[in-house]
């Protein structure tokens, strides 16, 4: 997911999906709060696609503000095993039609973001 300000890339994040779970790998920001915008847009899209969880990996203040919570490793492994049965999105991802560049606020949520 990328966040742009005019012609400048100001933030982004990437990860991988295992079934209906998104595992965040890395995030950056070149402007204050830009990574928050990219993260919110990603969670909105994942919710529309039916994702059940985001594995945030790190319990940062930034992610805790969005409702992230820690779970035991055993629970995470059980969720990842179950997620394999979810729909897989293979190939390049794009925002749903009409969503690119939208400034419409929160429209849904992934069940939870865990670390």
pTM: 0.75
- Tell me the pLDDT of the chain (115 aa) as tens digits: 888 888 888 988 899 998 999 999 988 999 888 888 888 888 889 999 889 899 988 878 877 887 888 889 999 899 989 988 877 888 888 888 654 444 433 333 333 343 3
SS3 assignment for the chain: CEEEECCEEEEEEEEEEECCEEEEEEEEECCCCHHHHHHHHHHHHHHHCCCCEEECCCCCHHHHCCCCECCCHHHHHHHHHHHCCCCCCCCCCCCCCCCCCCCCCCCCCCCEEEC
Which CATH fold topology does 2-87+108-114 show?
Answer: Aminopeptidase (3.40.630)
Q: Domain residue spans in the chain? A: 2-87+108-114
């Amino acid at each position: 997911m990328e966040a742009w300000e005019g012609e400048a890339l100001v933030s982004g994040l990437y990860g991988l999906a295992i079934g209906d779970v998104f595992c965040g790998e890395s995030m950056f920001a070149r402007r204050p709060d830009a990574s928050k915008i990219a993260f919110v847009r990603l969670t909105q899209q994942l919710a529309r696609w039916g994702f059940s969880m985001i594995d945030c990996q790190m319990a940062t203040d930034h992610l805790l503000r969005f409702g992230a919570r820690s779970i035991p490793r055993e629970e995470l492994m059980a969720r990842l095993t179950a997620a394999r049965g979810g729909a897989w999105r293979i190939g390049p991802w794009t925002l749903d039609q009409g969503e690119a560049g939208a400034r419409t606020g929160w429209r849904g949520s992934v069940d939870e973001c865990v670390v």
